[in-house]
Structures are given as C-alpha cells and as structure tokens.
Amino acid sequence: MVASLRTTAKRDLTAMLHSLELSSVPVVGIVANRSRRKAHRSYTSYYQPAPTPSPAPAPALTPTPPEPRCPKEAPCQPKPF
C-alpha cells in the first residue's frame, strides 16, 4: 500500500487497512510518500554490494573402510535402497 504523508488522512488509511484485513488480503507494508525529510543526494550506499562472508573451512575427510567382499560360499546380495 502507498500513502501520501501530506494528503492521506489517518482515518482513511485505517479504514483501508481494516477493509483489506476483512478481505483477507495480506498487507506486506506501507510506503509513505511525500515526506518533508530531505533524502541523501546519492543512493549509492543502497546499491553497495554486501560484504561477502569468509568461506567456512572444509570438513576433514575421513577415509571410509572398503566394503567386505562376498564369501565364496554365499552369493552377494544387492544392497537395499
């Protein structure tokens, strides 16, 4: 929802939010337009890349023992999934 700080009445905004709530419409947020507060001349700080976290160390690999071979007297069975 977008509302003007200079022209949208609080009762109108409250009524709209109530109407949307009754209709089960989720309101994600409200954007307040026309603020008298001065914005920065440059928005480059908004577009700076986020710092990249250092990569986690790789886990130590432990060798796995070889699977036992089938005895000659019994046939090998396939492993169940």
Minimum mean pLDDT range among 25-29, 44-48, 63-67: 44-48
Mean pLDDT of 34-62: 71
- Percentage of the chain with pLDDT > 90? 7
Name the token pair of 50.
Answer: 């986020």
Separation in Å, CA 63 to CA 26, 28, 57, 78: 52, 51, 18, 23
**How confident is the model over 12-45, as pLDDT tens digits?**
888 988 998 899 988 888 888 877 776 666 666 6
